[in-house]
Amino acid sequence: MASMKTLIRCLPILLSAIFINLSEAREFVVGAKKKWHVPSSSEEFNKWAGKIRFQIGDSIELKYDSKTDSVLEVTEENYKHCNKINPIGSYSDGDTKITLYRSGPFYFISGADGHCEKGQKLEIQVMSANHSHPLPVAPAPSPADTIAPAPSTAGSATKTWWFVSCAVVVGILSSI
């Protein structure tokens, strides 16, 4: 009987750990054209981001010419006014990868003169941990807007965790 009580107490924890680890971090290349540039439409980047349900741990990759452009992470107020003074973060390597480490909004603008004013800016909303879901929940993009996550090595770790978690549950059940 004690084993059954132990199982009942441990099962929710084990199941939570299994489902949390099933949702692996994804990497997205920013923009429908996969390039950080002055867009043809001022809402191009935000329309792209609006099709994705970003989760904590996901990352974005911005590709651009490092000789003529950069990426600035800014506050909401600086985003609205294209203010480049005192950014939260500044990137100029031409292939910037940023991990979305918390829930809530992230704001990015171009560091090149006049680019933000022409629409080269991006707002990303990251779902809170209690709103994340391991299954895809975003609407399917049109074929022209398909965004393929970059390959990730996290999948093998997730499979290993899944196997270990299942083995633990089977071990507990067999001891009853």
Residue 146 has pLDDT above 90, yes or no: no
- At 147 the pLDDT is 47
Read off the pLDDT band of 148 (50, 70, 90): very low
Check residues 152 and 111 and name the one with the higher pLDDT.
111
> CA nearest 74: which of 118, 122, 115?
122
d(CA 154, CA 161): 11
Distance, first Cα to last Cα, the chain: 8
Mean pLDDT of 30-56: 94
Q: State yes or no: pLDDT of 95 exceeds 60.
A: yes
- Of the pLDDT bands very low, low, confident and very high (cuts 50, 70, 90), residue 24 is confident
Who wins on pLDDT, 123 or 31? 123
In whole angstroms, what is the distance from residue 21 CA to residue 132 CA?
A: 12
Homologous superfamily assigned to 25-151: Cupredoxins -  blue copper proteins (2.60.40.420)
Averaged confidence pLDDT in the chain: 77
The verdict on pTM exceeding 0.85 is no
Q: Alpha carbon of 127 to those of 60, 82, 131, 151: distances in Å?
A: 15, 25, 6, 22
pLDDT at 149 over 90: no
Please choose, from the candidates 117, 25, 106, 115, the residue with its C-alpha nearest in 3D space to the C-alpha of residue 64: 115
Domain ranges of the chain: 1-24+153-176, 25-151
Range 153-168 average pLDDT: 47
> CB of 127 within 8 A of CB of 134?
no
